[in-house]
Amino acid sequence: MKIIINENMKGLLFKNGQFIKLLGAGKYRTWGGKAIEAVSLDAPLESDHCPLEVLLADPAISRETVSVEVEDKQLVLHYADGIFRHALTTGKYAFWKAGKTHEFRRVDLDSPEVDSALPGHLFAKMPEELYTKVEVAPHQKAVLFLNCKPTKLLDAGVYYFWNTDVSVAVKKADIRLTAMTVSGQELLTKDKVTLRITFVCNFRVTDPEKALTLVDDHISQLYVAVQLALREYVGSYRLDEILENKEEISRYVLEKLAAKRDELFVEIAEAGVKDIILPGEIREIMNTVLAAEKRAQANVITRREEVASTRSLLNTAKLMEENPTLYKLKELEYLERICENVGNIQVSGGDMLTQLTDLFRSGTT
């Protein structure tokens, strides 16, 4: 069988399964139980036919390779000519010199925290099972837990942690002003009427580290606090009292939440009732009452206007009775309006106003 070893490769010669020697580039033939395994000079030295220790025992291979042994709880970063090539876990490795300068940097895995001097771009060249990547957004703070113990607060950024026997977990908190809606809460008033209330509040986390370590889900706790405050207020008042003083609900709930500030480590910026929905039958009754009130108000206004109009007519009549000239002017005004709708009117000399008046009276009789 003919085998060709290229310049960027080496050959391992075996006979009857036993390593014989190292072969350089060239063309070879195998017979009589011999076999040649081609290996790349760019990859770590390893064979499918024998252990690495057997190969390194050969003087020729030992001269042309550099080896490193990685102990437990260690990681070795392999650089060739200053360029990162491999992340080596526990075991023994050998690399062909091939005119290159090899450097090995040991990493202690007693702690999963990565040295800040290690560039983040190297992790893209490593197997993902070696590390954990954590991203903290600009609007977030995060608490790092090692073996379930809070260790430190993480600011915005990208963090890497080695996967070791120490568990790594991260809890994040949004530090922006956040809106929370407590919607569709069915609450019973003092007079046994069911209301459906939607309440909104804006809050901000004041101490992310304590909120994440001392409170079990601070957002859910705040949600429950709003629910309880609403239930307590609505259950203490009748329906009419609640509808007349809707702003009092917001004030009451806000005071209750302010008392929770030191427990939940949040600050309430503002809070208020968004919607109050009445049951269908109560809504119909309220609409009927409202319509009746509006009709009563309209009747009062109408009567008031009628009285004012009558009083005005009475005053005008008194003035005309006391002043004949004013009466004549008023009569002339009405005759002028009548004449606007008449084609031709013939009058003779004398008192024209008296003639027009008589003419008008004779026409209406």
CA distances from 337 to 111, 221, 262, 326, 332 (A): 107, 79, 82, 17, 9
Query: Is the domain defined by 178-278 classed in CATH 1.10.3720.10?
Result: no
* Number of neighbouring beta carbons within 10 Å of residue 77: 17
pLDDT confidence of residue 44: 94
pLDDT confidence of residue 323: 74
pLDDT confidence of residue 192: 84
pLDDT confidence of residue 149: 93
In a 10 Å sphere around its CB, with 0-12 CB exposed, 13-18 middle and 19+ buried, how is residue 32 labelled?
Answer: exposed
Check pLDDT > 80 for residue 1: no
> Confidence class of residue 303 from pLDDT cuts 50, 70 and 90?
confident
pLDDT digits (tens, 9 = 90+) for 216-274: 999 999 999 999 999 999 999 888 888 888 889 999 999 999 888 889 999 998 889 88
Give the mean pLDDT of the chain: 86
Task: Locate the domains of the chain by residue range.
Answer: 1-100, 111-176, 178-278, 323-365
Structure tokens at 335: 């005759």
66: Cβ contacts below 8 Å, ≥ 6 apart: 94, 95, 97, 102
Give the residue-averaged pLDDT of 135-153. 94
> Confidence class of residue 342 from pLDDT cuts 50, 70 and 90?
low
> Confidence class of residue 365 from pLDDT cuts 50, 70 and 90?
very low
* 3-class secondary structure per residue, the chain: CEEEECCCEEEEEEECCEEEEEECCEEEECCCCEEEEEEECCCCCCCCCCCHHHHHCCHHHHHHEEEEEECCCEEEEEEECCEEEEEECCEEEEEECCCCCEEEEEEECCCCECCCCCCHHHHHHCCHHHEEEEEECCCEEEEEEECCEEEEEECCEEEEEECCCCCEEEEEEECCCEEEEEEEEEEECCCCCEEEEEEEEEEEECCHHHHHHCCCCHHHHHHHHHHHHHHHHHCCCCHHHHHHCHHHHHHHHHHHHHCCHHHHCEEEEEEEEEEEECCHHHHHHHHHHHHHHHHHHHHHHHHHHHHHHHHHHHHHHHHHHHCHHHHHHHHHHHHHHHHCCCCCCCCCCCCHHHHHHHHHHHHHC
Q: What is the pTM of this model?
A: 0.69
